[in-house]
Structures are given as structure tokens and as C-alpha cells.
């Protein structure tokens, strides 16, 4: 080991021969959001109004560009989260103790820093911290915007210290920071003043209500902006060749999990059988079927909360949703591949179907229709809210402003009803058996037109009620898109639907809905939804729904797609 005296001599000699040149910094420019070598701070919506000392912080490069850590695995560059800078504090680069100049700056922790420090310039320290945080998950208490700034200061050993943390960083910007302008002060303290007035004045109620109203508007606008950005960056919408028929399917739809899937009455392989039959019957060719992409995490976050999606990493929660208890015994890596992935592929199909329908007039996703799942909760063999996702993508990508959901599954569609409970852009017609799952009375209040068909309802009565409901819908709402959830669990003999609708009745039901859309020139998306009669044996019947397959620009030919024959051939 080198003697201490020799080390000191070499260190001093090194600093005499190597000197870090500090070039002049540009002036601070709040208009262009340029704050060279500054700590910057901005208030958080709602939180800072209640506690003005709490906010979001970032640190700036020598050219004034802001870096801030506002979410897992990502450091913003020149895109400061939560709004423009309100306070700033410019730091002195000469107080940084870079390894090549430790002796010159008399670093309090010189030997420790020369051993572990890697930053040789201000920007190098920031870049090193950025790379480090890009592999970290955001945590409100241990890994956040303040800890990112502290990490940057520690790498540069700012002010001779490597003990920067969330608390002293917050204190530094709070006590020594400068306000950008008077408006910044008003932005932070206005709602605090209003809160004080609310507690002391008789007219506080209306003021508080107004403040709350505007707070909700601002929060809603921010969330809508994030949602829109996610939709526009998604790859689920893509151009479909004209040679393809508007039928969407992937072999990845089918769920096969060591036979365990048979413990649930839902037929988890019906989608493949549908397409196999269509191909075998010569209705379509295999190469004419549109294959969708799998919905990824960012796609699902358009509607779902991060907490809900994280809950699916627990196999027990997945088992509860699909109602197959043994699934809880398997590790998540297996459940994700065997169970979650097929659902995500079907979600991609439902989302794409709206784009195809807009261009062709109609589209069928041979899957999807998970109408029991909402943004925050799954259930009833429904893991993702594909109907809600399909509609939100259509709002943004297709520039439409009104959608009608026609849900004719035997069960109430409580998932999409919760998601669109306060959204006037969506009209819901739900025709269901009120005597079976899910018994969601709160969601029923969100239905625009509720049609109840009790257990034992037969074909003639069912079709009469449907005709009346469609007539009411036609005079009540003028949609630009129809999403039709065409569950076949209304079939006579289905163990869960408990209705007595004939196979021919199902075909006539589907045809009525398609004619309703066609007569009004409204694009229609059909989702196949539920079918629980796995073990039903019945003779095949030539009952059909009409698929309008393009033959030319002026002529269309109706092709008999024997969907019901597929459902009966289990």
C-alpha cells in the first residue's frame, strides 16, 4: 500500500497540473425555461395549495435544461412535470469537489470522494444520476424527485458534502430559493388564502365549492392529456390491407392451461373454433383474417389504474377474476403467459376493431366483450376493460364524440357502466337478466336504457323487447359508433344465463342489431363476449348473422357466417 505522505504529494501535484475550466453560464431565462446550474421547484396541484412548502423539484444542466425524476424508470429532460418553474436557486460550480481538484477545493471528505466519486464536471454528475435513476422505480418516500437531486449533488460532492438527502435539498430550495415572478407566488398561495377565508367567513361554502371545482377541472385536464399521449403513441392502431375481411382474431386468444381452464364453465377456446369453422365452411380464408397486436402496459394504462394492473402480478388476484382457484398456486410468470397474455391480445383486437369498422362500416372481434371489468376492478372472467379501452381510443384516434353500447349478453355489463357513469358521450343500452350475476345495483343507475329479461324469457318476448329498445335508442341518441356486445349465453340451456332463447332467435337478434346500424350508416363493432354452454349437445342449424363483405365499391354481398353452428358444435 502507498504511504499516506506519498499519496498526499501525488494528489497535490496532480491538482496543480490538472485544472477544471469553468466557462461562463448563460443568464437565467424563465420565459425559455432555462436555469443554468439551478435547483428548480414548482407546486404540486392540490398538495401545494394545502401545504405550500411541498412541491416538485428538478436540477438543471449548465445549458439551463431541466432534469427531473417524475416516474419510474424515466428522467424528464426539458419537460418539467407539474408546470413551469416557480422558484429557483443557482448553485456555485466552484463549490463542487471533482476528483481532479480535491485539494484545491479542500473537500471535507476528500479521500472518500476520490475513491467513489465519478463526476468530473457538473453535467457529468447529472448524467450519471440520470442513468442511475432510469433503472429505479418511483417511490414517494425513498426514490423521488428530491432524492434524484440529492444524488446529483452527492456525485459532485457539492459544498464538500456527500450527505445530501431529501430533507436538506427541500430546505435549501425553500429557504434560499428565489421566486420567478409575482404570478408564481399567487399560484402557490392563492388557494391557501382561500382555505383560510373558508374557515373564517360565512360565504366560505361557495368559495370552497368553486375552488374544489376548478381543482378537479385542472386535475382532470392533466389526466386527459396523459391519456391522449398514451393513445397517440400506441401501436395497436395500424393500417389494414383491403384484401383482409373485417374479422379480427389471433390464435393467441385461446386459453389453454394444463386443462385447468375447464374448471370454469366459460369456453376459453371458443374463439379458435369460430374461425376454424368459418375457414372450413369457405366463408373466409385464413389469410383474410386480421391479426391484432397485444395490448402492452402503456396501452392498458389509458383506462386502468397502475394499482389495478400491479395487483394482477399476484396469482391469487388473477384466480379470483377468472374464478379458477387452482391458478393461485402457479407463479406469476406462468400465469402471465398462459392467462393474461390471451386477454391482452383480445384487448388489442377490440381496440383495432373500431378503426376497421370506421373504414369498412363493420368489424367483428372474435373475442373481447369483457364487460364486467372496469378501470379499477376485474371479475366474472373479465380481466381488462376492452370495451372502455376501445371507446377511448376511438374518441382520440377516430375523432368521434358519441358512442352507443348495445350490450345483449345475459349478464349486466357493470364494468363499462361504471367507467362511463358520468360521460354523456356514451349511451348504454343493456338488456340483461337481473336475477343473475353481478347484482351491481349501483352500476344499474348508470344505464341509459335498462331492459330486464327475467329467467325463463322466451324468444318471441325477447325479440319484441329488443325491437322496442332499439326504437327508443334511435330517437334518444345519435351515435357515430356502435359497440355491440353479442353474448350467446342467452341461449336456451345455458347454465348461467337462464334464458330460453332459441339458436334461431340469437341469429335474428344479431341481424336486428346489424340492420339497425346499417339503416343509419353507423359503423358497428361486434364483440363475441360470453358463452357458457360448453357441454350442450344440439343438432347444428343453419342460422346466420349477416356479414357484409365488400365485393366492390358499389356492391356488397351478404355472406352466411354460421356462428351459431360453431357454438353448437362443442
* Cα-based angle 363, 369, 374 (whole degrees, multiple of 5): 130
What is residue 143's predicted lDDT score, i.e. its pLDDT?
Answer: 87
What is residue 7's predicted lDDT score, i.e. its pLDDT?
Answer: 30
pLDDT-based confidence at 435, cuts 50/70/90? very high
Burial class (CB in 10 A: 0-12, 13-18, 19+), 279: middle
In tens, the pLDDT along 127-145 reads 888 888 877 877 778 888 9
In tens, the pLDDT along 191-209 reads 666 656 655 555 455 555 5
**Above 60 in pLDDT, residue 216?**
no
Among 93-102, 431-440, 460-469, name the one with the lowest average pLDDT.
Answer: 93-102
Sheet harboring 38-43: ordered strands across? Answer: 74-77, 66-71, 55-60, 38-43, 87-90, 178-179
Q: Residue 345, by phi and psi: left (phi above 0), alpha (psi -120 to 50) or beta? A: alpha
Report phi then psi at 484, rounded to 5. Answer: -105, 115
pLDDT, greater one: 155 or 11: 155
**Above 70 in pLDDT, residue 173?**
yes
What is residue 220's predicted lDDT score, i.e. its pLDDT?
Answer: 61
Residue range 221-242: average pLDDT? 91
Q: Percentage of the chain surpassing pLDDT 90?
A: 55
What is residue 35's predicted lDDT score, i.e. its pLDDT?
Answer: 94
Question: Which of 417, 522, 536 minimizes the C-alpha distance to 477?
Answer: 522
What is residue 192's predicted lDDT score, i.e. its pLDDT?
Answer: 64
Determine which one of 372, 392, 411, 416 is catalytic. 372
Question: Which of 548, 563, 525 minimizes the C-alpha distance to 352?
Answer: 525
pLDDT, greater one: 529 or 110: 529
Return the axis-axis angle of helices 386-397 and 204-233, rounded to nearest 10°: 90
Residues ≥6 apart with Cβ < 8 Å to 438: 372, 379, 380, 411, 412, 414
- Is 372 a residue of the active site? yes
> For residue 177, what is the DSSP state?
-
Residue range 352-365: average pLDDT? 97
Among 85-99, 417-431, 527-541, name the one with the lowest average pLDDT.
Answer: 527-541
Whether 271 contacts 249, CB under 8 Å: yes
In tens, the pLDDT along 69-121 reads 877 677 888 888 888 899 999 999 888 876 544 444 444 444 444 334 456 78
> For residue 340, what is the DSSP state?
I
Average pLDDT score, the chain: 82
What is residue 77's predicted lDDT score, i.e. its pLDDT?
Answer: 87
Q: How far is the C-alpha of 27 from the C-alpha of 40, rounded, in Å?
A: 15
What is residue 560's predicted lDDT score, i.e. its pLDDT?
Answer: 35
Q: In order of start, what are the domains of the chain with their CATH numbers?
A: 4-185 (no CATH), 234-568 (3.40.800.20)
Amino acid at each position: 500500500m502507498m504511504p499516506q505522505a506519498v499519496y498526499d504529494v501525488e494528489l497535490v501535484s496532480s491538482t496543480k497540473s490538472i485544472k477544471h475550466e469553468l466557462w461562463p453560464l448563460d443568464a437565467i431565462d424563465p420565459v425559455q425555461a432555462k436555469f443554468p446550474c439551478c435547483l428548480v421547484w414548482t407546486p404540486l396541484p392540490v398538495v401545494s395549495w394545502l401545504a405550500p412548502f411541498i412541491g416538485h423539484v428538478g436540477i438543471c444542466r449548465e445549458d439551463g435544461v431541466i432534469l427531473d425524476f417524475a416516474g419510474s424508470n424515466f428522467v424528464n429532460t426539458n419537460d418539467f412535470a407539474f408546470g413551469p418553474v416557480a422558484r429557483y436557486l443557482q448553485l456555485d460550480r466552484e463549490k463542487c469537489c471533482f476528483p481532479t481538484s480535491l485539494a484545491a477545493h479542500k473537500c471535507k471528505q476528500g479521500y472518500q470522494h476520490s475513491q467513489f466519486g465519478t463526476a468530473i464536471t457538473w453535467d457529468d454528475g447529472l448524467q450519471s444520476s440520470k442513468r442511475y435513476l432510469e433503472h429505479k422505480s418511483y417511490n414517494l418516500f425513498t426514490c423521488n424527485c428530491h432524492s434524484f437531486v440529492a444524488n446529483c449533488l452527492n456525485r459532485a460532492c457539492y459544498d464538500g458534502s456527500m450527505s445530501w438527502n431529501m430533507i436538506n435539498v427541500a430546505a435549501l430550495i425553500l429557504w434560499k430559493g428565489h421566486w420567478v415572478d409575482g404570478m408564481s407566488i399567487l399560484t402557490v398561495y392563492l388557494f391557501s388564502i382561500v382555505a383560510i377565508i373558508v374557515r373564517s367567513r360565512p360565504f366560505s361554502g361557495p368559495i370552497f365549492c368553486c375552488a374544489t371545482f376548478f381543482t378537479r377541472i385542472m386535475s382532470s385536464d392533466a389526466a386527459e392529456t396523459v391519456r391522449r399521449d398514451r393513445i397517440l403513441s400506441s401501436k395497436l392502431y395500424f393500417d389494414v390491407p383491403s384484401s383482409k375481411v373485417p374479422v379480427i382474431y389471433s390464435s393467441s386468444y385461446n386459453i389453454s392451461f394444463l386443462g385447468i381452464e375447464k374448471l370454469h364453465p366459460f369456453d376459453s377456446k371458443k374463439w379458435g373454433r369460430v374461425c376454424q369453422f368459418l375457414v372450413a365452411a369457405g366463408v373466409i380464408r385464413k389469410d383474410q383474417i386480421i391479426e391484432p397486436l397485444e395490448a402492452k402496459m402503456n396501452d392498458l394504462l389509458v383506462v386502468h389504474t397502475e394499482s389495478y394492473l400491479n395487483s394482477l402480478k399476484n396469482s391469487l388476484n388473477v384466480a379470483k377474476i377468472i374464478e379458477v382457484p387452482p391458478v393461485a398456486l402457479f407463479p406469476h410468470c406462468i400465469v402471465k403467459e398462459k392467462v393474461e397474455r390471451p386477454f391482452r391480445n383480445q384487448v388489442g383486437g377490440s381496440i383495432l376493431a373500431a378503426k376497421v369498422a370506421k373504414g369498412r362500416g363493420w368489424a367483428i372481434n372474435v373475442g373481447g366483450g369483457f364487460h364486467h371489468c372496469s378501470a379499477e376492478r376485474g371479475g366474472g372472467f373479465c380481466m381488462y376493460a376492452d370495451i372502455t379501452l376501445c371507446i377511448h381510443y376511438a374518441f382520440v384516434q377516430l375523432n368521434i364524440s358519441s358512442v352507443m353500447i348495445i350490450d345483449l349478453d345475459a349478464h349486466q355489463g357493470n364494468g363499462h357502466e361504471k367507467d362511463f357513469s358520468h360521460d354523456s358521450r356514451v349511451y348504454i343500452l343493456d338488456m340483461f337478466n337481473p336475477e343473475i350475476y353481478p347484482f351491481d345495483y349501483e352500476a344499474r343507475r348508470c344505464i341509459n336504457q335498462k331492459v330486464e329479461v327475467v329467467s325463463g324469457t322466451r324468444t318471441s318476448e325477447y325479440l319484441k323487447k329488443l325491437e322496442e329498445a332499439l326504437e327508443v335508442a334511435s330517437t334518444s341518441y345519435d351515435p357515430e359508433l356502435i359497440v355491440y356486445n353479442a353474448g350467446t349465453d342467452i341461449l336456451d340451456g345455458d347454465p348461467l344465463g337462464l334464458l330460453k332463447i332459441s339458436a334461431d332467435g340469437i341469429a335474428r337478434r344479431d341481424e336486428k342489431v346489424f340492420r339497425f346500424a346499417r339503416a343509419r350508416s353507423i359503423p358497428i363493432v361486434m364483440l363475441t363476449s360470453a358463452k357458457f354452454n360448453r357441454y350442450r349437445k344440439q343438432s347444428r342449424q343453419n342460422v346466420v348473422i349477416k356479414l357484409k363483405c365488400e365485393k366492390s365499391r358499389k356492391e356488397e354481398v351478404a355472406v352466411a357466417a354460421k356462428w351459431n353452428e360453431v357454438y353448437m358444435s362443442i
